[in-house]
Amino acid sequence: MSKKDAIEALVTVGRNARLYCCMPVIEGITPVGLMESPASEPLETGEDFMRRHGIFRLNEVGISPLDHDCLYGDGVFEGILIYRGQVFLFREHMERLGRSLEKTSIELPYSLAELTWQVVRTIQAVGFSESQNGYIRLVVTRGMGDLGINPKKCVGSTIYCIVSTIKLYPTEAYERGIQLGLSKTIRRPDQSTIDPTVKSLNYLNNVLALIEGTRGTDLMESLMLNRSGFVAEATVDNIFVIERSNGWEKDPANVRVRTPSDEYCLNGITRATLIELARAKGYRVVIDPHLMPIEMVGPDREVFMTGTGAGVMPITHLHGVKVGDGVPGPVTRDLVKSYMERMADPKYGLGIKATRKQTLDYLGASA
């Protein structure tokens, strides 16, 4: 991608996006945009300070350079898809955010249900048409503190949520599949470093793995291994391998679906859906901590990756080596179709025009 393309992509995000922002009011520190904008409102939360929050354009408010998000990547996030007028698997994303917050001891100033409603308000401020897809980036940081790492010096969490239109992978990519690079030296750490099931802001390792695995190519994703050399995940997607054995067309039990265990990967929400769909089709799903990269290639193999942005994406080559026939396989194509149907099913999300009451009812929360 050229710098010109990168600038164009940024300008498009800026044109369409809205930003929800909520942070403590600290004299001389809280960005002026949040203090003075007519869109900013005071918020009493029972903490030892006032907060302000509101919905803005992207260039109206910034995060403080003293936020431990900027200084240390100290925060958690969710990436959520708006597809055909609904926030897909919204509840599941908010529940995972709740678990990430708990595991990192970052406190929300109000309930997860209230936060969900603020996200819905932000979506409504963008003004999506029914056919427009969108992306939500919801971030909760440990907040503003002094320049040291000590979390005890952070005053209270900062919350921000960017909602914008999104360009998904083109339809041809799902028909043709994509190629995956291989990050050989930079590995996915296990729970002893950062619990991979915490969706934290600390992505430097994944960024470096992506640089390594795609260097000199125009590939978009790269496979990461764990320290022992077993398959962990791609840099922002989970991995599945399909093994078809004789008679699989008549007996789905002859299809084995392997995906790495979440000791080494994010417990992806798309991954969970695919595990459910594969089991419902009668395939043998194996959560496998010992999947080797060499087992991803060769005849009768299929590979796909899953993620909120990518959906279910067939992989045709790994590090230049063909997977199966080098085209998306029949089991993958069937799973892609089932996943697309799931995305369009109103049972699996919340409509973007939801009222506050509908939002709380959807979450099973009280007003």
Task: Write out the residues near ligand PLP by the rule CB under 6 A.
Answer: 79, 206, 233, 236-238, 265-266, 268-271, 306-308
As measured in angstroms, the least distance from the Cβ of 309 to ligand PLP is: 7
The smaller minimum CB distance to ligand PLP, of residues 60 and 233, is found at 233
Indicate the residue among 205 and 358 with the shorter CB distance to ligand PLP. 205
Provide the minimum distance between the beta carbon of 196 and ligand PLP in the complex, in angstroms, as a whole number.
7
Contacting residues for 194 by C-beta, under 8 A, at least 6 apart: 200, 202
130-144 burial code (b ≥16 CB/10 A, e <16): eebbbbbebbbbbbb
Are 304 and 315 spatial neighbours (Cβ–Cβ below 8 Å)? yes
- In angstroms, what is the minimal distance from the CB of 173 to ligand PLP? 17
**Sequence-distant (≥ 6) Cβ neighbours of residue 49 within 8 angstroms:** 24, 25, 26, 155, 156
DSSP reduced 3-state for 246: coil
Q: Tell me whether residue 258 or residue 271 sits nearer to ligand PLP (CB atom).
A: 271
The residue (of 307 and 328) whose beta carbon lies closer to ligand PLP is 307
Min separation Cβ 237 and ligand PLP, Å: 5
Q: Which residue is nearest to ligand PLP (CB)?
A: 268
Q: How far is the CB of 201 from ligand PLP (least distance, A)?
A: 11
Nearer to ligand PLP by C-beta: 30 or 235?
235
> Of 154 and 313, which has the nearer Cβ to ligand PLP?
313
- Tokens representing 218 are 């125009």
Q: Which two tokens stand for residue 97?
A: 């955010």
Q: CB of 268: closest distance to ligand PLP in angstroms?
A: 3
**Long-range contacts: 49-53, Cβ < 8 Å, 24+?**
49/24, 49/25, 49/155, 49/156, 50/24, 50/25, 51/22, 51/23, 51/24, 51/25, 51/109, 51/156, 52/22, 52/23, 52/25, 53/20, 53/21, 53/22, 53/23, 53/118, 53/159
At 230, the amino acid letter reads F
Q: What is the distance, to the nearest Å, from the Cα of residue 94 to the centroid of all Cα atoms in its chain?
A: 12
